[in-house]
Amino acid sequence: MVGAIKSEIKNLTCVECPMGCSLKVTVEDGKAVSVEGNNCPRGKAYGENEVVCPRRTLTTSLRTDKGKMVAVKTDRPIKKSEIFEVMEKINGVKVATPVKIGDIIIEKVSEDINLVASSNVE
């Protein structure tokens, strides 16, 4: 069968809002061609992205130079496949105090995505 389209259905639960819609995403040749079950446009976009290139916001904690912990996160979602690579980059990093929410801890930790502080530490 030359040129046959490979089609499959992916069932997902949307996590874009508290409604948790049950999505049915039709994928053909690695591309989302339809999304059913979403109650808002965010669910449609989530379903399309999740089957092609899932992304997550990475959150973790780093030690400061004074031994306290500071919460950090990526300022935008990164590719799910890059999470362990990014964690290797940031493991062992000590953050200079003081730290304010929004301070860039590591610039361009992945692509053009920064690791930022999500808590204050004096």
Q: What is the pTM of this model?
A: 0.79
> Is residue 107 very low, low, confident or very high in pLDDT (cuts 50, 70, 90)?
very high
Two structure tokens written together for 72: 């950090």
85 in a domain, yes or no?
Answer: yes
71 in a domain, yes or no?
Answer: yes
65 in a domain, yes or no?
Answer: yes
109 in a domain, yes or no?
Answer: yes
Same domain, 92 and 76: yes
1 in a domain, yes or no?
Answer: no
Two structure tokens written together for 46: 């989530």
What range does the domain containing 24 cover? Answer: 7-52
Same domain, 43 and 75: no
Model pLDDT for residues 34-80, shown as the tens digit of each residue: 999 999 999 999 999 999 999 999 999 999 999 999 999 999 999 99
